[in-house]
Amino acid sequence: MSDHNEDLAATKTEGFKVGEKKTLEEYQELDKDDEAMVRWKASLGLNAGNPIGKAGDPKCLIKSLALRVEGRDDVKIELSSPEAVQELKNKPFTIKEGAKFHIQVVFQVNHDVLSGLKYLQVVKRKGIRVSKDEEMLGSFAPNTDQKPVYTKEFAEEEAPSGMLARGSYNAVSRFLDDDDHTHLMFEWAFQITKEW
């Protein structure tokens, strides 16, 4: 996977600086009398329910990715265990050429506010990069019993079509945050075919 590290480097927005990190308690006490800040904290889900994260849980646990195509069952990729992640590159799934689809991710945040979670993906065919995508997911409060997971759906994409597009592809995906901390990086494979 080392040859993908450069491909999976996150792009930096010129002039953007990551804000000072705060603990969950600091966020909860921050500007209690500021109505706009109270609304912002509520939009993150702060102060809503009992935390579900346990000691030793990762800050962000990516549970699954799904390929969603209208009129078809979702192709779900389990990511919640190291064994499931290891099997992905050996079990390619099929996408029909020209199909329109969405990718959906399910994840859980534990212990602290997660700032600037994003998804990077590099797709290669026969060792040549054919695409690099980046999707900003946002910032999230720790999950609670009232909201045990987050689900985000990416923008619609269309699979390439034509004889030259059909075949096997390899991909590497990475979930990282504003601190450039990688929460999950994994390899997987898929095939583009004429029919499902």
Mean pLDDT of the chain, nearest integer? 85
As a three-state string, the secondary structure of the chain is: CHHHCCCCCCCCCCCCCCCCCCCHHHHHHCCCCCHHHHHHHHHHCCCCCCECCCCCCCCEEEEEEEEECCCCCCEEEECCCHHHHHHHHHCCEEEECCCEEEEEEEEEECCCCEEEEEEEEEEEECCEEEEEEEEEEEEECCCECCCCCEEEECCCEECCCCCCCCEEEEEEEEEECCCCCEEEEEEEEEEEECCC
The amino acid at residue 4 is: H
Confidence band, pLDDT 50/70/90 cuts, at residue 47: low
Percentage with pLDDT > 90 across the chain = 57
CB atoms within 10 A of CB 103: 21
Q: What is the pLDDT of residue 188?
A: 93
Q: What is the pLDDT of residue 2?
A: 47
Q: Is it the case that residue 13 has pLDDT exceeding 90?
A: no
Q: Is it the case that residue 28 has pLDDT exceeding 70?
A: no
Give the alpha-carbon dihedral of 183, 181, 146, 35, to 10 degrees: -160
Q: Is it the case that residue 69 has pLDDT exceeding 90?
A: yes
**Residue 136: both structure tokens together:** 């900003």
Q: What is the pLDDT of residue 107?
A: 97
Least confident of 4-8, 72-76, 106-110, 168-172: 4-8
pTM of the model: 0.79
Question: What average pLDDT score do residues 126-130 get?
Answer: 94
Question: What average pLDDT score do residues 24-43 get?
Answer: 68
- pLDDT tens per residue across span 131-177: 999 999 998 989 999 889 999 999 999 999 999 999 999 999 999 99
Hey, what domains does the chain have and what are their CATH numbers?
A: 22-193 (2.70.50.30)
